[in-house]
């Protein structure tokens, strides 16, 4: 290619590029760009004002940041249904290692009730974000009876409070832990021996 041809092509490309940019002005792309620029400017202004407000009221800022951090921690450590099932199995194994004479009947009954409900498929999890509720439903999720599928005959939101089996928060299941306090102490053990004398 000759030098003149290269120069003509260069100017043609420049003219073509400038005509493309002229066509884009006032078009959809420019409007979309202006829209995102306005959003960026709004967020930038909010960030600047937030930093200024934090400097003016540090106690309020610490409270809000601490609350956000606490909620974030609760969200991160919210226990799952798998952790509940694992905790039940772990507690059941601990109870099985004990003899009937020293096993706490209240702890054993609580764990056996949870295992029976789980095996029947009646346990459901309600995730509230910062905590989880395990509650007992009437039917297994796979049952296709009319009563199991009809919303009118199912468990209502106000009835769930009476059906709660456990509350999970910070990676722990509170009622299960409470039921297993002194699981290896049978309060009836000494009563039986005293009544026999």
What phi, psi does 34 have (nearest 5°)? -65, -40
Burial of 108 (0-12, 13-18, 19+ CB in 10 A): buried
- Higher-scoring residue by pLDDT: 138, 107: 107
- Higher-scoring residue by pLDDT: 178, 148: 178
User: Looking at 66-70, 83-87, 179-183, which range is the least confident one?
Assistant: 179-183
pLDDT for 43 equals: 93
**pLDDT tens digit string along 62-82?**
898 899 999 999 999 999 889
pLDDT for 68 equals: 92
Quick check: 107 and 180 in contact, CB under 8 A? yes
As a whole number, mean pLDDT of residues 119-123 equals: 83
Tokens found for residue 164: 């709660």
pLDDT for 118 equals: 87
Q: Is the pLDDT of residue 32 over 70?
A: yes
pLDDT for 166 equals: 87
pLDDT for 24 equals: 56
Other beta carbons within 10 angstroms of residue 35's beta carbon come to 10
Strand order across the beta sheet in which 172-173 lies: 123-127, 132-136, 164-169, 172-173
- Higher-scoring residue by pLDDT: 163, 35: 35
Q: Is the pLDDT of residue 59 over 80?
A: yes
**pLDDT tens digit string along 130-177?**
989 888 887 776 676 766 666 766 666 677 777 788 899 998 898 888
Q: pLDDT class for 39, splitting at 50, 70, 90?
A: very high
């Amino acid at each position: 290619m000759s030098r003149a041809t290269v120069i003509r092509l260069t100017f043609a490309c420049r003219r073509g590029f400038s005509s493309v940019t002229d066509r884009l002005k006032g078009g959809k792309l420019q409007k979309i760009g202006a829209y995102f620029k306005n959003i960026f400017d709004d967020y930038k202004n909010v960030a600047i004002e937030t930093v200024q407000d934090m400097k003016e009221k540090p106690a309020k800022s610490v409270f809000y940041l601490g609350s956000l951090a606490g909620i974030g921690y609760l969200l991160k450590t919210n226990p799952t249904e798998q952790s509940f099932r694992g905790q039940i199995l772990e507690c059941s194994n601990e109870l099985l290692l004990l003899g009937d004479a020293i096993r706490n009947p209240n702890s054993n009954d609580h764990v056996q009730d949870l295992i029976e409900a789980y095996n029947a498929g009646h346990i459901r999890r309600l995730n509230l974000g910062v905590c989880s509720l395990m509650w007992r439903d009437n039917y297994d999720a796979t049952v296709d009876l009319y009563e199991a599928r009809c919303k009118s005959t199912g468990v209502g939101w106000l009835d769930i409070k009476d059906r709660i089996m456990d509350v999970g928060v910070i990676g722990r299941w509170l009622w299960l832990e409470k039921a297993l306090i002194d699981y290896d102490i049978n309060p009836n053990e000494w009563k039986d021996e005293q009544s026999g004398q």
